Structure 1
Amino acid sequence: MILCRSALARSLHHHLRRHYTAAAASAAVAAPAPSPDDPPSSSPFAYLEDLPRPDPKYDETILAIPRAASGTSASAKERKHGRVPGIVFEQEDGQHGGNKRLVSVRAGQIRKLVNHLGYSFFLSRLFDLEVRPEFDSDDVVEKVRVLPRKLHLHSGTDAPLNVTFIRAPSHALLKVEVPLVYRGDDVCPGLRKGASLNTIKRKVKYLCPADIIPPYIDVDLSELDVGQKLVMGDLKVHPALKLLQSKDEPVCKIMGARVSEQRKK
């Protein structure tokens, strides 16, 4: 059994390496030439011109301080002082954690980011995170790029209760549930005929190189007629993204009126 698992792991690693090598070559052809002023990067990946990229308007450094204790009472004490208990993990291959650091972040900053971006969009966006001895200190213990992995909100007030971050260096591959944004409903042939949109998926899970995590994916409804649907394989994404769900899973469908409803009219 151990030998079988080892062979399976080697096979999966070889498959992913081939996938990302081919995707990097494709991206290098499609991506615009870098500017001499661009900072050097260890990643072969870049956002493509015709695909969504993070809005620089929401670039922000999240400030954090070390947290010595964990547990229910310690977390309650942090919240009482306007802080959100958090954890920063290492997750370079998208599957395994490690290198854990306990931190606390400002509740007001997290709440502001979630309100501006939206809950799902907050969880698909990279941030710089600075760990300092105190929030008002100029000393930096650690500065790292992170992806928010989990965020728990209070059911009644939406106050952030705890947050988990994953370190996201350029070489990391991260599992991300990317939110979908539906567009083209104003010109959709099926909707203009009086049909309705059945939204089946709001997010789709991909394995993403850290440098090109999409903030969202556009779902184009502009050519769908009554009875037609889009599946996950129809979504237009960077070739380096690996879909972690079936490409045949439906995303949305244009539903016609029922016969009984048509007769009433």
Structure 2
Amino acid sequence: MAVINARTRYGTGKGVARKLRREGALPAVLYGAGQANINLSLNAKEWEDLLAREKSGLRTHPQELVIDGSNRNMVMMRGYQVHPLSGLAEHVDFVRFDPNHEIEIAIPIHLVGEDKCPGVKAGGILQIIHRELDIACLAGNVPDYIEVSVAKLDIGHSIHIQDVKLPDGVEARGEEDMTIVTVVAVRAEVVDEGAAG
């Protein structure tokens, strides 16, 4: 569990946010659990270091958010906005964590068995349609990722949401027939040698 230090932020709007970023801070907000929202600021460098270290764990596991050095909250990162050009964080949303409350969250899909995939061995291409899966479960039971095996996938075959085995207490959100991954054939271009001359 990571410890995230934050300060109470007074004032809102684009002007305030720009000023914070110029000062090396990052706007954030804490909400949920029927309590009032709290506007926050984080140290931008500390946040980027934390992201590099924790990766998707920030979204799937509870973290401790310490506000003004003493107000401790169990939270999960709910939203994260980045600048389209720099790739640096622009805003972070945290939601208060209640392990007995059901939440909806997107978690990573990890493909396994690619080296055994008969469709790829036959010259097909593994086409990944979705890299994340929207799920619903108790906040205390969020898995790190969902594992999907492609070890038996042939050319022209796909894996859909209903084909994926989920942990107990975890439900997929979205259309049941939504394709996660498929193996497609490579189309060979036929060149007319007469026309080419």
Question: Is TM (by shorter chain) over 0.5?
Answer: yes
Match of 1:184 in 2: 113
Q: CA deviation at 1:185?
A: 0.7
1:103 partner SS: strand
Q: Note if contact 1:121-1:216 (Cα within 8 Å) is conserved in structure 2.
A: no
Query: CA deviation digits over 1:46-72, x for unaligned, max 9?
Result: xxxxxxxxxxxxx31111111111111
State how far apart, in whole Å, the 1-side matches of 2:166 and 2:47 are: 28
Q: Note if contact 2:99-2:141 (Cα within 8 Å) is conserved in structure 1.
A: no
Match of 1:210 in 2: 139
Q: Note if contact 1:67-1:103 (Cα within 8 Å) is conserved in structure 2.
A: yes
Q: Note if contact 2:107-2:145 (Cα within 8 Å) is conserved in structure 1.
A: yes
State how far apart, in whole Å, the 2-side matches of 1:205 and 1:217 are: 10
Distance 1:140 1:121, change over 3 A: closer
Say which of 60, 70, 83 aligns to 1:140.
70
* Structure 1 gaps, min length 5: 1-58, 92-96, 133-138
Q: CA deviation at 1:122?
A: 4.1
Structure 1 segments, 4+ long, off by >4 Å, are: none
1:233 partner SS: helix
1:41-190 matched pairs, under 5 angstroms: 59-91=1-33, 99-118=36-55, 122-132=58-68, 139-141=69-71, 143-190=72-119
State how far apart, in whole Å, the 2-side matches of 1:263 and 1:213 are: 50
1:198 and 2:134 correspond: no
1:217-228 matched pairs, under 5 angstroms: 217-228=146-157
Q: Note if contact 1:181-1:217 (Cα within 8 Å) is conserved in structure 2.
A: yes
Q: CA deviation at 1:201?
A: 0.9
Query: CA deviation digits over 1:3-47, x for unaligned, max 9?
Result: xxxxxxxxxxxxxxxxxxxxxxxxxxxxxxxxxxxxxxxxxxxxx
Q: CA deviation at 1:262?
A: 8.0
Q: How many residues align structurally?
A: 191
Instruction: Report the TM-score when normalising by structure 1.
Output: 0.66
State how far apart, in whole Å, the 2-side matches of 1:232 and 1:184 are: 18
State how far apart, in whole Å, the 2-side matches of 1:204 and 1:229 are: 16
Instruction: Report the TM-score when normalising by structure 2.
Output: 0.88
State how far apart, in whole Å, the 1-side matches of 2:89 and 2:57 are: 15
Match of 1:29 in 2: none
State how far apart, in whole Å, the 2-side matches of 1:152 and 1:116 are: 18
Percent of residue pairs bearing the same amino acid type: 23
